[in-house]
């Protein structure tokens, strides 16, 4: 009965996402009608409407992929580490990617090279985090989290150094704007370069989501059912990290999505990751799509996304804490 209810709920959520995509195509600083959106997909839109809708559609695809990816990365980290406060920047990937982007901005590189630099630095940061854990010969999740905190602190210092020497009239503003997240500069080229990583990561986690349930068991039980806990844990961490790094290199750092959305999804469909992870992907895409639509519609200039997601995410998380105070995060 619960299984059938979850399928119905996820179907409703998916339909809601499709409706919101259509509405988001219509809303902006230049509003369009539903018929114009429909004409775009049938190839009958006039040139001016077609150009606007093309730009919006590219941006919406990026928003949906990043929302799903960041949310699934957060849910994966929370399951692997058994900590409901874990988020996609847990191992320092977000901060590391910000350092990479800041260095590229400081050297006057194009958006394409900024994305590459952010992605590589994010991956390097996680590699260093895992190396610290390996040097300590520890398989403890707590040690790994502490290693992530160490690397995050180091990357914050590096980021502060880059911001200190950056030109305050131009470069510093770009770095700060990157830290707050925005899809304003996403185009077809940047989406094509990053989308495959997001799609592969999302598909992998969806196909192996039952293993997240297994990893919540004790080590001996996991080995009894034929799963290597170390290999599977590292694989889950790797793909969650790839999703986070790809998201950051595409649109900068976006807060709260990876932390809040997994809790929202579990409150709807339960703790079983076979249902919670797909629901998390859909819910994350919905929440980020709403946030981005607001960010590009309520002001002349795009509002940084972390500002919007903060205003939305904080009250939601407070509600979650109140509802789960006797259960624990």
Domain ranges of the chain: 2-323
Evaluate whether 108 touches 166 at the Cβ level (below 8 Å). no
Chain Cα centroid distance, residue 2: 28
Q: What is the mean pLDDT of residues 1-21?
A: 92
Quick one: pLDDT at residue 56? 95
Quick one: pLDDT at residue 232? 87
Quick one: pLDDT at residue 81? 84
Q: Which of 166-170, 243-247, 288-292 has the highest mean pLDDT?
A: 288-292
Write out pLDDT tens, residues 187-204: 898 899 899 999 999 999
| Lowest-pLDDT choice from 16-25, 229-238, 319-328 | 319-328
Q: Which CATH code is given to the segment(s) 2-323?
A: 1.10.3470.10
Write out pLDDT tens, residues 246-265: 998 899 899 899 999 999 99
Cβ neighbour number for residue 225 with a 10 Å cutoff: 8
Opening angle at CA 90, ends 157 and 84, nearest 5: 145
- pLDDT surpassing 80 at residue 22: yes
Nearest to 303 by CA among 252, 264, 247, 259: 252
Quick one: pLDDT at residue 328? 53
Give the residue ranges of DSSP H helices in the chain: 2-26, 34-41, 47-81, 93-106, 111-135, 141-165, 171-180, 188-207, 209-215, 219-224, 229-251, 257-269, 273-297, 305-323
- pLDDT surpassing 70 at residue 118: yes
| 122: its two tokens | 């994010």
Cβ neighbour number for residue 223 with a 10 Å cutoff: 12
Classify residue 123 as exposed, middle or buried by CB count within 10 Å of its CB (0-12, 13-18, 19+): buried
Q: What is the mean pLDDT of residues 238-246?
A: 90
Q: What is the dihedral of CA 213, 83, 323, 244, to 10 degrees?
A: -90
Q: Report the mean per-residue pLDDT for the chain.
A: 88
Write out pLDDT tens, residues 160-219: 999 999 988 888 888 888 888 999 989 898 899 899 999 999 999 999 998 888 887 777
Chain Cα centroid distance, residue 65: 8
| 224: its two tokens | 């009894």
Quick one: pLDDT at residue 138? 73
- pLDDT surpassing 70 at residue 133: yes
Burial track 174-209 (b if 16+ CB lie within 10 A, e otherwise): bbebbbbbbbbbbeeebbebbbebbeebbebbeebb
Quick one: pLDDT at residue 17? 97
Nearest to 102 by CA among 147, 155, 151, 66: 155
- CA distances for 260 relative to 1, 12, 312, angstroms: 27, 20, 10
Quick one: pLDDT at residue 313? 87
pLDDT above 70 as % of the chain: 96
Confidence of residue 83 (pLDDT cuts 50, 70, 90): confident
Rg (CA), the chain: 20
């Amino acid at each position: 009965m619960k299984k059938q209810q979850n399928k119905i709920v996820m179907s409703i959520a998916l339909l809601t996402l499709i409706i919101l995509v259509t509405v988001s195509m219509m809303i902006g600083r230049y509003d369009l009608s539903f018929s114009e959106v429909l004409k775009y997909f049938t190839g009958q839109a006039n040139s001016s409407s077609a150009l606007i809708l093309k730009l919006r559609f590219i941006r919406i695809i990026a928003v949906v992929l990043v929302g799903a990816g960041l949310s699934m990365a957060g849910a994966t980290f929370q399951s692997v580490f058994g900590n409901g406060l874990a988020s996609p920047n847990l191992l320092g990937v977000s901060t590391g990617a910000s350092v990479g982007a800041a260095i590229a901005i400081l050297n006057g590189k194009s958006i394409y090279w900024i994305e590459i630099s952010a992605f590589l630095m994010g991956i390097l940061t996680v590699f260093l985090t895992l190396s610290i854990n390996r040097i300590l010969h520890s398989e403890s999740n707590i040690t790994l989290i502490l290693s992530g905190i160490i690397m995050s602190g180091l990357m914050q210092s590096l980021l502060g150094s880059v911001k200190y020497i950056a030109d305050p009239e131009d470069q510093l503003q770009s770095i700060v704007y990157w830290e707050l997240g925005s899809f304003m500069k996403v185009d077809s080229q940047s989406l094509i370069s990053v989308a495959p990583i997001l799609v592969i990561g999302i598909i992998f986690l969806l196909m192996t989501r039952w293993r997240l349930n297994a990893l919540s068991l004790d080590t001996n039980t996991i080995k009894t059912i034929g799963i290597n806990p170390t290999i599977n844990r590292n694989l889950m961490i790797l793909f969650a990290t790839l999703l986070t790094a790809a998201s950051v290199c595409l649109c900068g750092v976006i807060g709260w999505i990876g932390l809040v959305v997994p809790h929202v999804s579990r409150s709807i469909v339960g703790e079983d990751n076979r249902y919670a992870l797909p629901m998390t992907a859909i819910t994350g895409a919905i929440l980020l799509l709403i946030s981005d639509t607001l960010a590009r519609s309520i002001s002349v200039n795009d509002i940084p996304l972390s500002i919007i997601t903060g205003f939305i995410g904080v009250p939601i998380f407070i509600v979650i804490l109140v509802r789960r105070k006797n259960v624990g995060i």
